[in-house]
Amino acid sequence: MLFNLKKTIFFILRFSAYGLALAFLFLLLSNNISLIDKSFSSFFKLNRHSFNNAVESTAPAVVNVYASKVYQEKGHSVFGHPMFKQFFGTSPQLTKTRRNNSIGSGVIMNKAGYILTNAHVIENAENIGITLNSGEQLQAKLIGLDLDTDLAVIKINLKNSPSIKIGDSSKLKIGDIVLAIGNPYNFGQTVTQGIVSATSRKRRGISFFDDFIQTDADINQGHSGGALINVYGELIGINTAIISKSGGSEGIGLATPINQALNVMDEIIKNGKVVRGWLGIEAQSLSGKLRSYEDTSGSNGVLITATIRNGPAENAGIIPGDVIHSVNGERTDSPGKIIDMITKLRPGEKVKIKILRGWDEQELTATILERPAIKFLR
């Protein structure tokens, strides 16, 4: 009996000790969680109203770009007037030397000193100057430009060149906060804040391969070529243009996604330009009436409206009125898709194109050429 009593008391004491230990552990963890909670809360309260960390880490890599070109402008002489020609004959044409200056921005992309900017900022420039965020001024060398995306690469020689953290523009969502950094109106480095208003804005007539990030962050003249960053200080776009009736910011800014810009930059550094395939066609999506005549197994095809003389399409036998169903076996359902497919091919590659002409389906072979650059008015 005594043995059983001792056993019972021991059992109670042992589990009481377990209970006290668990209670102590619970209180300890509760206090730690509370402390962690307070730490995060303090951090959030301290930083939620400021993007200083993001700007401070990226601003040194954003530069001011100054491009200049000297050209001759024809002047007018009073003796060139028809009334004086009968007395004095044709007088020599007077010329004046003019200098055209362009102001923009750029982003130092790596320690080697390569800078991404817009092609329209430095196109035809004879002299390209760079001003760093620190105030230091340097000369830049043109590596190459791509009019089709309005991007250009220039280079500076600078020890310990600042660079920027690269983000992933494919992960952007509408409503994400973004910051635009650049040199508007030559005011010096300026930061504006907004959100991502839209992604994949296409065919705005600014460049051929439009795929813009739209933002309401103020992008003004001089911001071109500057950085569009997220709140983590990651570069997610290159500021390119504004849509405006007044010439100032009206809440519609466009930036080239960094994923696209990096591909262009790598090509320019490697080849001095971007090499793209070209078929030499003008095309449009099929109208509803034409679609109803076809059974294309889920793909409506693309109607050819014109071919470029002596271009790959014409030489392959493609004519206006043909409907392209597939390229190298891959179905096509829009002009944009054909462009994307063809531009990825290299000049000299042969491509099989399946067309519908009238009621006859044919397969033709075209030899891809290098796509000529098209200059867009801005």
Where b means 16+ CB within 10 Å and e means fewer, 196-229 reads: bbebebeeeebbbbbbbbbbbbbbbbbbbbbbbb
Helix, strand or coil, per DSSP, at residue 74: strand
Half-sphere exposure of 127 (CA within 13 A, CB side): 10
Give the span between the Cα atoms of 237 and 207, in whole angstroms: 15
3-state secondary structure 143-208: EEEECCCCEEEEECCCCCCCCCEECCHHHCCCCCEEEEEECHHHCCCEEEEEEEEEEEECCCCCCC
Give the span between the Cα atoms of 188 and 66, in whole angstroms: 12
Strand partners, 212: 201
Q: What dihedral do alpha carbons 246, 251, 257, 262 form, nearest 10°?
A: 50
Residues in the chain: 378
Closest CA to 195 of 61, 51, 46: 51
Give the span between the Cα atoms of 119 and 374, in whole angstroms: 12
Please identify every residue annotated as catalytic. 120, 150, 224
Give the span between the Cα atoms of 70 and 98, in whole angstroms: 6
AA identity, residue 100:
N
Helix, strand or coil, per DSSP, at residue 26: helix
AA identity, residue 196:
V
